[in-house]
A and B are shown apart, each in its own frame.
Chain A
């Protein structure tokens, strides 16, 4: 039975859109939450989940769309207004104050007081009641929050939500910081909350959790709700993964010419491991070959790329480029050997957003044109302009701040950076994340062109279609293990999904 089936809609969002500096974070999200249900929001990294939460918690204003709260059209102008309306948010980075006691945290901002004098006794009494309601009556209200485990901090955060007249609690990946026992406990508390008529929006990308706790699911991909309010029971996992990872539009993938067996091995990864994240990853990439890593978020795929690149230090295993061993944990060694990485988080890991395009393009190689350490910006601009023309980067102004460009063009900046530097191995983490449909095809063609020119390429993508369409060979990864390595032409999306699901279940 679906809880709250007959319950009236508590929250209804229609056609919510939001963009930042011209980049669409949300492009039409519908969400319908009923009182007393656990409504799961499912989506890959960057799908727009956090933006959606921030709109609900009043931190952002949507560009367009409607929000109905308890049947009335409304706007949520500020975080304080959201709290007053009865919407509480439990962020991943818990917003509890470590130096204060549990009671002080719970009543922070709405203390029991007379003329500014705190009623500690009353606060402690109320705190005990609230903690008891959450099944944690054993916690002392006077305990300092800094001494609590992450799980108990969540309890404090929830008690704070309950201390106000909260109707909806948003939980942003609460299980990410918990162990199995604590997750079980969390689920009990969530049950407790819903039985009191409180609605919970539960965000996670762990499918098995959603199965256990969720009533209905909304799947978000590329800032759009792919499905809204699907019942958890009766929706097969494969359907969910497909909604989450499947393509929205037919993409044109460039033809694969095939890699001759005589092509030299450029990248040789042997027994690479990073404790607690992935284990025993071995593979080779030949010149001109594209190898794709398929797997869900959290499978370790980004970490594998970052470890090859030296941004993380491998616990064991080796990486060799053109037969030469790379020093572990040294990005410099990798770059000097001709390895380039286009990171998953373009803005926080890849670009100097305030700096002009040309300086971003030459970031790894500006020293090359310098004479006695004196920069040659004219040469850099010329080089950048060549790349701008070759990659059809728009707007084509080398002096425009990188942050003002669209996702697709920012991706091209990163590709241009490595083209200019000259790479033999290119590691691409989510190369089309946040890139709109039109630009994707261009980026696919670009990647293939790089491969045809002899670059060995490793691609990570959340979209299985993309991995299959781009790669010559595919490695399927789940929970930090390589499940299968095979020619992309010998495997299809269903088989990959099956493998991933078996891997997750194992």
Chain B
């Protein structure tokens, strides 16, 4: 009987049926309202930064530093948002990103890039990410392995493969145009920020305005219903993991641009930061609901927080504790929200 004990009291659920909800509550539980909460949280952190670190924090350059810092995790998180919205999870994104930086910087690829174009390295990194995602997707959709296990295996394997290929060496980029590009900017704004912004815009459009996004939400909302409605659920599952892998590959390119080196240790634990950002951003871990805007805000909340702590010379350990607290609070709020929704039983 012990497993039966945590059944929530359903009386609460019925009492708060949508009809009974006040307009305010309805607004707050709508898309805008939930992101409003995140904006308020972000503003509170900004206010804390302004009070504790003053002008140093409020400097325009610091503003760009925060977004720059958020950009790589941000791109990964956008891919992750799709997977989680569809009811899955991808633990391999950090490793896959690391692998993509290695493959894009091995001597052969660099030589070929020197001969042709530096964009070859970009394409290679993206292809590596997409290929790893494809393997994940096929194992999950057709091999019927649970996403957690399939992508955990990829996490381990991709990291190992990166070490094998690089012989655990750091690979330095000699392709000057590649380095020059990422040293440059557009309209005074760093390329990393542009890539993040473009990825967010495409991600938002894809999730909320396209058939791909509709299928993603349908899969996460009710997989069986989506299947019986005639959606190609397996094919779509594969595409979702390819998308997450592709995002990891793009993040790999960004990492190469920022650091100038490929190494198998790039992207360690990024999967956890990405999942945290996605969940804090209001995407349900069980799937069925997710927004790119929320994810972007989630990423910004974490990077702004890190910045505030750094400006105040607080240790990363303190940061970690606060981050943990934020995740718990976000999930608690989410559960309260979910409990207000309609039950399937």
Q: Which A residues have a C-beta under 8 Å from some C-beta of B?
A: 19-22, 54, 57, 59-61, 78-80, 83, 88-89, 91, 95, 108-109, 309, 311, 331-332, 334-336, 341, 343, 347-355, 359, 363-364, 366-367, 370, 373-375, 400-401, 403-404, 417
Contacts and interface: CB of A to CB of B under 8 A. Distances in A.
A341 B224 CA distance: 12
B342 A353 contact: yes
Contacts of A95: 1-4
B30 to A, nearest CB: 10
A163 to B, nearest CB: 12
B224 A21 contact: no
A364 B288 CA distance: 17
Interface in B247-279: none
Interface stretch (B75-83, B193-201, B210-218): B210-218
Given A20-B13, A79-B1, A355-B217, A363 B226 contact: yes
Contact of A88 (B1, B213, B217, B228): B1
Contact of B342 (A331, A343, A349, A354): A354
A88 B11 CA distance: 23
Contacts of B230: 331-332, 334-336, 364
B210 A370 contact: yes
Contacts of B225: 348-352, 363
B201 to A, nearest CB: 14
Interface in B172-223: 209-214, 217-218, 221-222
B321 interface: no
A415 to B, nearest CB: 13
A352 B211 contact: no
Q: Which 3 A-B pairs have the closest CB atoms?
A: A403-B342, A335-B230, A352-B221
Contacts of A375: 209-211, 213-214
A363 B223 CA distance: 12
Contacts of A83: 1
B341 interface: yes
A332 B229 CA distance: 8
A450 B118 CA distance: 61
Interface-centre pick from B17, B230, B288, B289 (highest chain A CB count, 10 A) = B230
Interface string B49-81: 000000000000000000000000000000000
B228 A60 contact: no
B11 A341 contact: no
Contacts of B212: 373
Given A57-B4, A354-B221, A404 B18 contact: yes
Interface-centre pick from B19, B209, B228 (highest chain A CB count, 10 A) = B228
B232 interface: yes
Contacts of A359: 214
B17 A311 contact: no
A419 B5 CA distance: 43
A498 B227 CA distance: 38
A2 B226 CA distance: 50
B228 A311 contact: yes
Contact of A331 (B13, B19, B218, B227): B227
Contacts of A351: 222, 225
Contacts of B10: 20, 60-61
Contacts of B5: 78-80
Contacts of B115: none
A86 to B, nearest CB: 13
Nearest to A50: B345
B116 interface: no
Contacts of B218: 352, 355, 363
A403 B225 CA distance: 13
Nearest to B235: A332
A212 B230 CA distance: 44
Nearest to A334: B230
Contacts of A374: 209-211
Contacts of B9: 61
Nearest to B344: A347
A458 to B, nearest CB: 15
A492 B3 CA distance: 47
B7 A79 contact: yes
A102 to B, nearest CB: 16
Contacts of B227: 311, 331
B11 A59 contact: no
Nearest to B227: A331
Contacts of A88: 1
B167 interface: no
Nearest to A346: B225
B342 A404 contact: yes
B336 interface: no
B217 to A, nearest CB: 7
A401 B21 CA distance: 13
Interface-centre pick from B17, B210, B211 (highest chain A CB count, 10 A) = B211
B312 interface: no
A401 B212 CA distance: 21
B18 to A, nearest CB: 5
Contacts of B210: 370, 373-375
Interface in B5-59: 5, 7, 9-11, 13-14, 17-19
Nearest to B224: A349
Given A21-B342, A54-B7, A347-B344, 4 more contacts: A331-B228, A349-B228, A353-B344, A403-B343
A20 B209 contact: no
B62 to A, nearest CB: 38
Contacts of B2: 95, 108-109
B228 A370 contact: no
B214 A366 contact: yes
B77 to A, nearest CB: 22
B344 A348 contact: yes
A328 to B, nearest CB: 16
A91 B217 CA distance: 32
Interface string B310-345: 000000000000000000000000000000011111
A59 B129 CA distance: 47
Interface-centre pick from A78, A79, A95 (highest chain B CB count, 10 A) = A79
Contacts of A78: 5
Contacts of B229: 335, 363-364, 417
